[in-house]
Chains A and B, each alone.
Chain A
Amino acid sequence: MTREGAVNAVILALLAAVALAGAAGDRPFLVTLAAKVAILGLAGVGLNIALGFGGLVSFGHAAFFGLGGYVAGILASHAQNYEPVAEWPITIAGTQEMLIIWPAALAACALAAAVIGALSLRTSGIFFIMITLAFAQMLYYFAISWPAYGGEDGLPIYLRNAFPGLDTMDGLQFFALCLAALVLGVGLSWRLRDSRFGLALEAARQNPERVAAVGIRVFRVRLAAFVISAAITGLAGALYADLNRFVSPAMLSWQTSGELIVLVILGGVGRLWGPVAGAGLFVFLEHVLGGVSEYWQALLGLMLLGVVLFARGGLLGLLAGARRHG
């Protein structure tokens, strides 16, 4: 096994160990934290496809995280109230089935990303950052001002949505589900990175002019990456809504976008398991230091500064060495 492989295995084992220890020691809080790491890690894995592989600094991925969450929340609330989501042109009933909610969340986020990406990917650099932020802010204010689904107060999900054969209200089983989704997400991003598409995407990050000069349309490659990235982050959002049994506009806020970027950078930009390591560190800091002092974010800022200045590879770069190509 390579050193990076070993580090990845340790990350995965640590996460599972925390959840198991929490369940065994009757501390459900730990199980919830582990699930939160898995979910934020998955959201980061999604963002990493755009940000890490493609070099597309999206400051609007909260839009997809929140949209995925709202898809879960809205479908569940309709099912809970026995009201169809729509009656025209076709009747769409609410549902509490994750196996229906997830594809719906993936599709909604892919569609939103196709629109947002088609407009924002015509720009680059700071303009791209600002336009993605602007779209996310639009969704945020829309959610706040739309009373049908709780507006500012958010939308509760009374019982977690269901998955065949599992009791999702059981913390450990729900965690296992999140972990499975995370592993699938990382696996997919690994295949993507090494594929033809991934090669073109990573080349476009390094030198878009060169990529165009060999006959590849950079815009299309980036748009596809943005859509896939958003869909994965949206799936994480649907899981996050279920974890908290609650969706609110906070999921759509720019702080959420920022946190997602932070955890990708902390963990190691462009590294397969980087976002998971970053999510672990982030949640650890939030709950351990956050309990001690409300200034924990200042420390987070310092760490971020340290990573940007001295350890570009993030946590994974420190533990597993520089990433090698080829």
Chain B
Amino acid sequence: MAETVLELAGLSKSFGALRATDGVSLTLRRGEIHALIGPNGAGKSTLIRQITGEIAPDSGTIRFMGRDLTGLDMPARARAGLARSFQVSSVASEFTALQNVVLAVLGASGRVFGFLAPAMADLRLVGPARAHLGRVGLSGREAVRAADLSHGERRRLELAMALALRPKAFLLDEPMAGMGPEGAREMTALLAGLKREAPILLVEHDMDAVFALADRISVLVYGRIIATGTVAEIRADPAVREAYLGEEA
């Protein structure tokens, strides 16, 4: 079995009386795309936010590359190699596409406290940033303000920023959300190539994409994982069909 990169064990998180995460255990292995699906409000984003360190779980542990992440804040986890894209696009909207990716390269470099030399003239930052923009197909859009990019382009910009972290795992929260069928197909192709670099925990509602991409799928309902398995296993699972896939499967 491939090496485990990320391991959640017995993770729980409540918001008041609501158990948004209820004893979740799952693993992400080298080379795989592990899709996390579930109805709206199931707790998918909440789970991602606990992995990134944005919120703290009430109990349970998260191990990444053999190391317990408890006590590490968001920047430390990013630097350790956890790259994340947000469910709602999150970029510096006044900055150009290139500046956004340079920011990510800067974060990965760990050398933020340069006070005098212009960042946008620094080839150690701009060079890699251009390459990452090229990979997501945004080369021609470098100088466009992030606010002026189309929705789909912003999603790809986020992916370029994730790439810039040279991550050891990707946490992608609905990367296809709001994209047309064409955009979703392009994104699917991009992600298929990406998993060789680092495994992907993929939260996604687009079932075509999930079935095309996922090596394994976990189904989250009311904060609990009700099933984990291959695409075929999940499609055949009666509990899943009832709880989530419904007529769709």
Q: Which A residues contact B (CB, under 8 angstroms)?
A: 191-192, 194-200, 202-203, 206-207, 209-218, 220-221, 224, 325-326
Q: Chain B nearest CB: distance from A322 CB in Å?
A: 10
Contact A200 B74 (CB under 8 A): no
Docked Cα-Cα span, A204 to B165, in Å, equals 17
**Interface set, chain B 87-132, CB cutoff 8 A to A:** 90-96, 98-100, 102-104, 106-108, 110-120, 122, 125
Contact B116 A200 (CB under 8 A): no
Q: List 6 A-B contacts (CB under 8 A).
A: A194-B118, A199-B120, A207-B93, A215-B110, A216-B107, A325-B95
Q: Among A192, A194, A326, point to the contact of B98 (Cβ < 8 A).
A: A326
Chain B: how many interface residues by the 8 Å CB criterion?
A: 44
Contact B92 A197 (CB under 8 A): no
Contact B106 A216 (CB under 8 A): yes
Does chain A have a CB within 8 A of B164? yes
Minimum-distance CB pairs A-B, first 10: A214-B107, A215-B78, A215-B107, A196-B114, A326-B96, A215-B79, A206-B92, A194-B118, A212-B74, A214-B104
**Interface set, chain B 139-179, CB cutoff 8 A to A:** 143, 145, 161, 164-165
Contact bitstring B68-87, A, C-beta under 8 A = 1, else 0: 00000111101100001010
A191-B115, A200-B106 known; A325 vs B94 contact (CB < 8 Å): yes
Does chain A have a CB within 8 A of B21? no
Does chain A have a CB within 8 A of B218? no
Docked Cα-Cα span, A206 to B98, in Å, equals 16
Does chain A have a CB within 8 A of B12? no
Q: Which B residues contact A (CB, under 8 angstroms)?
A: 52, 54, 73-76, 78-79, 84, 86, 90-96, 98-100, 102-104, 106-108, 110-120, 122, 125, 143, 145, 161, 164-165
Q: Among A198, A218, A326, point to the contact of B143 (Cβ < 8 A).
A: A326
Contact A216 B98 (CB under 8 A): no
Q: Among B103, B113, B119, B145, point to the contact of A214 (Cβ < 8 A).
A: B103
Q: Chain B interface mostly helix, strand, loop or mixed?
A: mixed
Docked Cα-Cα span, A311 to B76, in Å, equals 40
Contact A197 B75 (CB under 8 A): no
Q: Among B74, B93, B125, B165, point to the contact of A206 (Cβ < 8 A).
A: B93
Q: Chain B nearest CB: distance from A196 CB in Å?
A: 4
A191-B116, A210-B91, A325-B96 known; A199 vs B75 contact (CB < 8 Å): no
Q: Chain A interface mostly helix, strand, loop or mixed?
A: helix
Contact B92 A194 (CB under 8 A): no
Contact A211 B107 (CB under 8 A): yes
Docked Cα-Cα span, A97 to B125, in Å, equals 43
Question: Which partner residue on chain B sits nearest A214 by CB separation?
Answer: B107
Docked Cα-Cα span, A199 to B114, in Å, equals 10
Contact B79 A206 (CB under 8 A): no
A194-B120, A195-B114 known; A206 vs B164 contact (CB < 8 Å): no
What residues of chain A lie closer than 8 Å to B164, measured between beta carbons? Answer: 214
Docked Cα-Cα span, A196 to B92, in Å, equals 15
Q: Chain B nearest CB: distance from A48 CB in Å?
A: 16
Contact B115 A215 (CB under 8 A): no
Docked Cα-Cα span, A145 to B125, in Å, equals 53
A196-B106, A203-B92, A325-B96 known; A214 vs B78 contact (CB < 8 Å): yes
Contact A210 B110 (CB under 8 A): no
Q: Chain B nearest CB: distance from A124 CB in Å?
A: 16
Docked Cα-Cα span, A215 to B92, in Å, equals 15
What residues of chain B lie closer than 8 Å to A198, measured between beta carbons? Answer: 119
Docked Cα-Cα span, A211 to B249, in Å, equals 39
Docked Cα-Cα span, A14 to B168, in Å, equals 57
Contact B95 A326 (CB under 8 A): yes
Contact A197 B74 (CB under 8 A): no
Q: Chain B nearest CB: distance from A272 CB in Å?
A: 14
Contact A209 B90 (CB under 8 A): yes
Contact A203 B103 (CB under 8 A): yes
Contact A197 B91 (CB under 8 A): no
A196-B112, A212-B75, A214-B108 known; A207 vs B119 contact (CB < 8 Å): no
Q: Chain A nearest CB: distance from B27 CB in Å?
A: 23
Contact B145 A325 (CB under 8 A): yes
Docked Cα-Cα span, A191 to B120, in Å, equals 12
Q: Chain A nearest CB: distance from B169 CB in Å?
A: 14
Docked Cα-Cα span, A183 to B108, in Å, equals 34
With most chain B CB atoms within 10 A of its CB, the pick from A197, A214, A218 is A214
Contact A207 B91 (CB under 8 A): yes
A212-B74, A215-B165 known; A197 vs B90 contact (CB < 8 Å): no
Contact B99 A325 (CB under 8 A): yes
Docked Cα-Cα span, A140 to B75, in Å, equals 38
Question: Which partner residue on chain B sits nearest A199 by CB separation?
Answer: B119
What residues of chain A lie closer than 8 Å to B120, measured between beta carbons? Answer: 194, 199, 326
